[in-house]
């Protein structure tokens, strides 16, 4: 050892000194930690506020009524715009073909100019990179516009021209395709959006598009429920509501409401000649022309088919007759239906509604309908003003038309038969099937009272098939005695595909062939579509072996020889007007009937004369060699029970 006192050991002291904090360092660390905690707390609090805001916006959007949705969307854009401190927020929607976009909703900060009105129909190729990103379902987040990639040169140029410094845009998608976007622009400062905010904005975009699409679906459903899809006009349901409201206003202001119901005369001929597309074009053009006649305060509606209604709020200020004259004028000009210009005629029914307590929308429409049919009966292409005297005519009562459909299902139709006689022997060889309507209040109605109404709708097909089913039952039942039964068909049965297929199915069910059935169609209806008639008759003959085809009302002035040889017919039924003239023994009538009989026989057809009422007419027809006859001379139309109990003259 060296004897020197040992130096004091200061290690503990040094350790003690080392552990003592530097007051300055400690303060800075504490301050830094405090700032970090405060910053984190602020970010968390801001994020919580953002999520709460999104939740509130979502609730408001999903519960917003259709009329307030736009206001709610713009309020949401404003709340989020202020939250992010941007200058403008917006919604753009793509056009149906995705070729252009329009600014549908917008919020701007104080001092920023609105631009939505100028940003309509913007071509999507203006922003090729942006639209490609959104189409790929990628949000576009650009904190600094100057840092956009070279491929986005067009977007950078446009953004810089607008003074935009930061931008975020998120796609709106529906049914798997891009339908628009939601965006936020910052002009006066740079803004960055964290990933959490971008995800939240994507959620917002889907809530917005869901609300908009739901409203549009509701609008489309409402349009379908209350508007005619062909013309866009109010339909019968909306018309009823509008008319009821017009009546209330008329009663309040002590004025008259007016109704005009119009029908396009011979519209069916347009469909038959040019096709249903041409008919649709005609109806659309009629709607457009009618719209030029009515005032904004009036209602123009389509009831269906070729019927339109005009409701005049004040029939004193705009007299019905003046409006009717104007309608005939605008519709009297040629209309191009795609093939050639045609001129259509219309029949109008006018009715004034006095502002009394008993006035009802249904009654006004019924009265207008009655007047319209009165106009049609008096020559068409004119109007008639309703009067109570018109109700005395059974044929003008539209209530019958509404009840006819019910008659089919309620068993009110009656099956009648009129005998057909062999003119040589006088023996009853068959019958023509006819229909009557046992109306619960009016009693037994003749075909002339209701079939014209049925022919204007699909009801005629139901009546035809009802009669045909009874005729088949009769012809092949034990009571039929194997005799022939003839049944009249409407043109609709042959013209329209569905009724024709149902007719074929009914004929195909006849037991052992259809040789006891004869189907009749008038000569004039055949000539409306001769090639179609040839094809339809050939199919009928193929499906129903043995069925006979007859041309009814033959010889009414048509060019019979030009088409007769082309049709697979078996029987010609001479028109009753020609038979009626035989009673006077006039040379022309005798010569025409004799020629028809000879021509029919030369072509291998049987010839039947209708409307035989006197022995003199029957004598002439026997002399000409006419095969069969029917008419009051041999028996009126009668019920099945009466038919079976009465034997015609000459039959044991």
370 token code pair: 């009655």
Q: How confident is the model at residue 393 (pLDDT cuts 50, 70, 90)?
A: low
Q: How confident is the model at residue 65 (pLDDT cuts 50, 70, 90)?
A: confident
Tokens 């609008």 belong to: 219
Q: Which residue has the higher pLDDT, 450 or 431?
A: 431
Q: Which helix (H) or strand (E) holds 258?
A: strand 257-264
pLDDT of res. 391: 64
Q: Virtual CA dihedral for 123, 124, 125, 128, nearest 10 degrees?
A: 160
**For the chain, how big is the Rg over CA atoms in Å?**
42
Tell me the HSE value of 389 on the side-chain side, using a 13 A CA sphere.
Answer: 3
Q: Which residue has the higher pLDDT, 37 or 213?
A: 213
Instruction: Determine the average pLDDT of the residues in 152-172.
Output: 95
The whole-angstrom separation of Cα 547 and Cα 10 is: 133
Q: How confident is the model at residue 317 (pLDDT cuts 50, 70, 90)?
A: low
311 token code pair: 């409701």
Residue 138 φ/ψ region, left for φ over 0, alpha for ψ in the -120 to 50 degree band, beta for the rest: beta
pLDDT of res. 513: 63
Three-state SS sequence of 398-412: HHHHHHHHHHHHHCC
What DSSP string describes 440-483? Answer: TTTEEEPHHHHHHHHHTSTHHHHHHHHHHHHHHHHHHSGGGTT-
State yes or no: pLDDT of 472 exceeds 80.
Answer: yes
252 token code pair: 């309040």
Residue 180 φ/ψ region, left for φ over 0, alpha for ψ in the -120 to 50 degree band, beta for the rest: left
Q: How confident is the model at residue 465 (pLDDT cuts 50, 70, 90)?
A: confident
State yes or no: pLDDT of 471 exceeds 80.
Answer: yes
State yes or no: pLDDT of 561 exceeds 60.
Answer: no
Q: Which residue has the higher pLDDT, 493 or 292?
A: 292
The whole-angstrom separation of Cα 405 and Cα 400 is: 9
Instruction: Determine the average pLDDT of the residues in 527-545.
Output: 79
State yes or no: pLDDT of 34 exceeds 70.
Answer: no
Q: How confident is the model at residue 458 (pLDDT cuts 50, 70, 90)?
A: low
Q: Are 483 and 644 in contact (CB under 8 A)?
A: no
Tokens 């019910």 belong to: 406
Task: Report in angstroms the alpha-carbon separations of 51 from 46, 73, 215.
Answer: 9, 17, 25
Tokens 């705009």 belong to: 318
Judged by average pLDDT, the poorest of 75-89, 298-312, 364-378 is: 364-378
**Range picked from 255-264, 490-499, 556-565 for highest mean pLDDT:** 255-264
Express each pLDDT in 620-637 by its tens digit. 999 999 999 999 999 999
Q: Exposure string (b/e) for 170-192, b if CB count within 10 Å is 16 or more?
A: bbbbeeeebbbbbbbbbbeeebe
Going along 60-205, which residue ranges are E strands?
88-94, 100-108, 122-123, 140-142, 166-174, 177-186
The whole-angstrom separation of Cα 263 and Cα 457 is: 14
Q: How confident is the model at residue 416 (pLDDT cuts 50, 70, 90)?
A: very high
Helical residues (DSSP H) of 64-111, grouped into ranges: 69-84
Q: How far is CA 56 from the centre of its chain?
A: 41
Q: Which helix (H) or strand (E) holds 530?
A: helix 530-543
Judged by average pLDDT, the poorest of 15-24, 290-299, 464-473 is: 15-24
The whole-angstrom separation of Cα 72 and Cα 376 is: 54
Q: Virtual CA dihedral for 548, 552, 554, 559, nearest 10 degrees?
A: -80
Instruction: Determine the average pLDDT of the residues in 57-80.
Output: 90
Tokens 């939240």 belong to: 200
The residue among 198, 327, 192, 197 whose CA lies nearest residue 258 is: 327
Judged by average pLDDT, the poorest of 251-255, 594-598, 621-625 is: 251-255
618 token code pair: 């029957």
Q: How confident is the model at residue 591 (pLDDT cuts 50, 70, 90)?
A: confident
443: DSSP letter:
E
State yes or no: pLDDT of 13 exceeds 60.
Answer: no
pTM to 2 decimal places: 0.46
Express each pLDDT in 120-139 by its tens digit. 999 999 999 999 999 999 99
The residue among 67, 73, 66, 63 whose CA lies nearest residue 215 is: 66
| Domains located in the chain, CATH noted | 39-220 (3.30.450.40), 236-392 (3.30.70.270), 398-645 (3.20.20.450)
Instruction: Determine the average pLDDT of the residues in 42-58.
Output: 86
pLDDT of res. 438: 92
β-strands 413-422, 628-629 pairing:
antiparallel
pLDDT of res. 473: 87
pLDDT of res. 5: 40
- Residue 155 neighbours by CB under 8 Å, 6+ apart: 127, 129, 130, 148
Instruction: Determine the average pLDDT of the residues in 289-294.
Output: 94
Q: Which residue has the higher pLDDT, 448 or 204?
A: 204
Q: Which residue has the higher pLDDT, 532 or 539?
A: 539
pLDDT of res. 299: 94
The residue among 115, 117, 116, 135 whose CA lies nearest residue 125 is: 135
What sign results for the dihedral spanned by CA atoms 525, 526, 531, 534?
Answer: positive
Average pLDDT score over the chain: 83
SS3 639: strand
State yes or no: pLDDT of 526 exceeds 90.
Answer: no
The whole-angstrom separation of Cα 330 and Cα 344 is: 10
């Amino acid at each position: 050892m060296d004897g020197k006192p040992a130096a004091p050991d200061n290690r503990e002291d040094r350790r003690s000194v080392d552990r003592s904090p530097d007051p300055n360092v400690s303060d800075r660390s504490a301050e830094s930690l405090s700032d970090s905690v405060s910053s984190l707390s602020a970010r968390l609090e801001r994020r919580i506020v953002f999520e709460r805001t999104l939740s509130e916006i979502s609730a408001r959007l999903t519960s917003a009524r259709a009329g307030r949705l736009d206001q709610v969307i713009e309020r949401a854009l404003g709340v989020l715009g202020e939250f992010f401190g941007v200058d403008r927020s917006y919604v753009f929607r793509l056009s149906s073909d995705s070729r252009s976009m329009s600014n549908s909703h917008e919020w701007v900060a104080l001092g920023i100019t609105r631009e939505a009105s100028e940003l309509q129909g913007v071509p999507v190729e203006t922003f090729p990179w942006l639209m490609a990103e959104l189409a790929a379902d990628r949000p576009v987040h650009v904190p600094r516009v100057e840092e956009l990639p070279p491929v986005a040169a067009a977007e950078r140029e446009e953004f810089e021209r607008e003074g935009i410094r930061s931008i975020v845009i998120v796609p709106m998608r529906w049914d798997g395709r891009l339908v628009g976007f939601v965006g936020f622009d910052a002009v006066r400062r740079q803004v960055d959006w964290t990933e959490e905010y971008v995800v939240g904005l994507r959620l917002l975009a889907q809530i917005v598009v869901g609300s908009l699409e739901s409203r549009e679906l509701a609008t489309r459903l409402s349009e379908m429920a209350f508007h005619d899809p062909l013309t866009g006009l109010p339909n019968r349901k909306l018309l009823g509501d509008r008319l009821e409201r017009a009546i209330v206003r008329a009663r309040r202001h002590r004025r008259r409401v007016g109704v005009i119901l119009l029908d396009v005369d011979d519209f069916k001929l347009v469909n038959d000649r040019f096709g249903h597309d041409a008919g649709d074009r005609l109806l659309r053009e009629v709607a457009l022309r009618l719209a030029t006649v009515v005032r904004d305060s009036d209602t123009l509606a389509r009831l269906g088919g070729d019927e339109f209604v005009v409701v005049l709020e004040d029939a004193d200020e705009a007299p019905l007759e003046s409006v009717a004259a104007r309608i005939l004028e605008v519709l009297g000009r040629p209309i191009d239906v795609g093939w050639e210009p045609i001129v259509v005629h219309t029949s109008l029914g006018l009715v004034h509604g006095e502002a009394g307590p008993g006035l009802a929308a249904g009654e006004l429409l019924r009265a207008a309908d009655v007047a319209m049919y009165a106009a049609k009966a008096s020559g068409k292409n004119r109007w008639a003003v309703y009067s109570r005297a018109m109700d005395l005519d059974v044929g003008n009562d539209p209530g019958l038309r509404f009840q006819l459909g019910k008659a089919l299902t309620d068993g009110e139709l009656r099956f009648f038969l009129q005998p057909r006689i062999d003119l040589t022997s006088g023996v009853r060889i068959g019958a023509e099937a006819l229909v009557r309507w046992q109306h619960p209040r009016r009693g037994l109605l003749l075909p002339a009272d209701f079939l014209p109404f049925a022919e204007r709708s699909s009801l005629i097909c139901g009546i035809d098939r009802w009669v045909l089913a009874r005729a088949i039952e009769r012809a092949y039942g034990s009571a039929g005695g194997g005799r022939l039964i003839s049944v009249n068909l409407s043109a609709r049965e042959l013209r329209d595909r569905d009724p024709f297929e149902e007719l074929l199915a009914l004929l195909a069910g006849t037991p052992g062939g259809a040789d006891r059935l004869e189907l009749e169609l008038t000569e004039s209806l055949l000539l409306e579509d001769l090639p179609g008639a040839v094809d339809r008759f050939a199919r009928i003959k193929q499906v129903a072996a043995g069925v006979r085809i007859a041309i009814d009302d033959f010889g009414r002035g048509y060019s019979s020889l030009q088409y007769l040889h082309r049709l697979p017919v078996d029987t010609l039924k001479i028109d009753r007007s020609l038979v009626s003239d035989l009673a006077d023994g006039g040379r022309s009538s005798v010569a025409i009937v004799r020629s028809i009989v000879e021509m029919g026989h030369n072509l291998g057809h049987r010839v039947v004369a209708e409307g035989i009422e006197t022995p003199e007419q029957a004598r002439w027809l026997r002399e000409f060699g006419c095969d069969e006859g029917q008419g009051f001379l041999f028996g009126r139309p009668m019920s099945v029970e009466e038919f079976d109990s009465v034997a015609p003259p000459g039959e044991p």
